[in-house]
Amino acid sequence: MFTIKEKRLLTDNICLMRVEAPRVAAAAQPGQFVIVRADETGERIPLTIADYDRSAGTVTIVTQTIGVSTRKICALNEGDSLADLAGPLGRPSEFVNMPSDELRKRRYLFVAGGVGTAPVYPQVRWLHEHGVEADVIIGAKTASLLIYTDEMHAVASNLYIATDDGSAGVKGLVTDVIRELIDVRGNRYDECVAIGPMIMMKFVALTTEPYGLKTTVSLNALMVDGTGMCGACRVSVGGKTLFTCIDGPEFDGHKVDFDEAMRRQAMFRDEERKANEKSHECNCFK
C-alpha cells in the first residue's frame, strides 16, 4: 500500500501529496513520472514526480482536479492509501547523464505553467545541487493559482513571475518574459525547458526557435498505461511516431507536432464531461 504521509492544498483545485513509496523514491530521477490509481476501479493517471526523498522513502505528487479520477485522488487524506503508484517511468532529463564539468558551463531557462510548476522544481533543485545556473519563469492566470514559488526561490538563480491579470509579477505571458530576458537584458541560455499546458509549450517553442535556443518539453499528459502497450501516447516528433511513456516524456519542442498532440488530448473530452456530470449527480466525492 502507498500511504499518504502528507496532504495539503496548493490552490482550490491543486493538491500536494507526499506518499510512502521507498522503491520509487530510491530510483527516481528528475523528469520521470509515476502512474497513480486512487482505488482498484480507478483510472491510471500519469503524474510527473514533483519531488522525492530517498532517506524518508517518499515521493511527492501534485494533482489538479480536472476529471473524476483526479478528484478521486485529491479526495483522499493523510493516512489513506493509493491503490497503485508505479514508477519511476520514462527517461530522466537529459542533463542527469551529462559530464559534471560540461554541465556546470551551461545555463538553463525553465518555463513553468500552472500545475507544470511542480515537476519543474525537482529539475531546478537537481541543477542547483550540482552548481548549475537556472533561471525560472512561472506563469499563471492570477496570483491565487501560483504554486511552488517559495520552493523555487530557494533553488533558482533568478525567478520571474508572469500573470495574465498582473496580480503578481509582470502582467503578460511567459513568452513575453522570454523575449524580455533575451532581447532586453541580453541573457544567453544553452537550453530552455518548458512544462505546462500543451498550448503554452507550443508557444514557448515557437518563441525560442528564432533564437536557435534548444527547447525541451514534457508531454506526460498524453499517457495512459505508461508502458508503451496501449499506443494512446503516440506523438509525432520530427516526422517520426514516438511513444511519450517510453521515448519521453521529454522531447525536442521544435520537432513536436503540437497540433496533433492537442487533437489527441481532446479525443475523449465528451466522455470526460459525461463522467464528471454523472459523478456530480451522485455526489460521489462528498
Tens digit of pLDDT for each residue in 69-84? Answer: 889 999 999 999 999 9
Grid cell locating 255: 520537432
pTM for the complete prediction? 0.86
Grid cell locating 62: 501534485
Do 24 and 128 reside in the same domain of the chain?
A: no
Do 105 and 159 reside in the same domain of the chain?
A: yes
Nearest to 137 by CA among 215, 210, 60: 215
The answer to the question of residue 164 being in a domain is: yes
CA angle (236 as vertex; 231, 241 as ends), nearest 5: 55
The answer to the question of residue 278 being in a domain is: no
Reported as a single tens digit per residue, the pLDDT across 263-285 is 876 655 555 555 445 555 555 55
How many domains, the chain? 2
Residue 165 CB-density burial (10 A; 0-12 exposed, 13-18 middle, 19+ buried):
exposed
Residue 158: which H helix or E strand, with range? Answer: strand 158-163
pLDDT at 42: 81
Do 141 and 204 reside in the same domain of the chain?
A: yes
Q: How many CA atoms lie within 13 A of 8 on its CB side?
A: 6
User: Listing from the earlier edge strand, what are the strands of the sheet with 33-37?
Assistant: 45-48, 33-37, 84-89
Reported as a single tens digit per residue, the pLDDT across 219-269 is 876 666 666 666 677 888 999 988 887 888 899 999 999 888 888 766 555
- Could you say which of 66, 89, 112 is where a domain stops? 89
Question: Residue 199 — pLDDT band, cuts 50, 70, 90?
Answer: very high
Grid cell locating 217: 518539453
Grid cell locating 158: 533568478
Do 188 and 203 reside in the same domain of the chain?
A: yes
The answer to the question of residue 272 being in a domain is: no
- Could you say which of 38, 64, 89 is where a domain stops? 89
Q: How far apart are the C-alpha atoms of 103 and 172, rounded to whole Å?
A: 32
For residue 52, the domain's CATH number is: 2.40.30.10
Do 202 and 100 reside in the same domain of the chain?
A: yes
Do 204 and 103 reside in the same domain of the chain?
A: yes
Contact between 55 and 42 under an 8 Å Cβ cutoff? The reply is no
Q: What percent of the chain has pLDDT over 70?
A: 88
Do 99 and 202 reside in the same domain of the chain?
A: yes
**In which domain, by residue range, is 17 found?**
2-89
The answer to the question of residue 253 being in a domain is: no
The answer to the question of residue 149 being in a domain is: yes
Do 187 and 126 reside in the same domain of the chain?
A: yes
Nearest to 219 by CA among 267, 254, 272, 261: 261
- Could you say which of 208, 225, 255 is where a domain stops? 208
pLDDT at 278: 56
Reported as a single tens digit per residue, the pLDDT across 129-166 is 999 999 999 999 999 999 999 999 999 999 999 999 99
Do 26 and 103 reside in the same domain of the chain?
A: no
The answer to the question of residue 261 being in a domain is: no
For residue 175, the domain's CATH number is: 3.40.50.80
Do 125 and 57 reside in the same domain of the chain?
A: no
Do 62 and 110 reside in the same domain of the chain?
A: no
Contact between 216 and 180 under an 8 Å Cβ cutoff? The reply is no
The answer to the question of residue 13 being in a domain is: yes
DSSP state letter for 256? B
Nearest to 156 by CA among 109, 194, 224, 203: 109
pLDDT at 279: 54
The answer to the question of residue 120 being in a domain is: yes
Do 80 and 127 reside in the same domain of the chain?
A: no
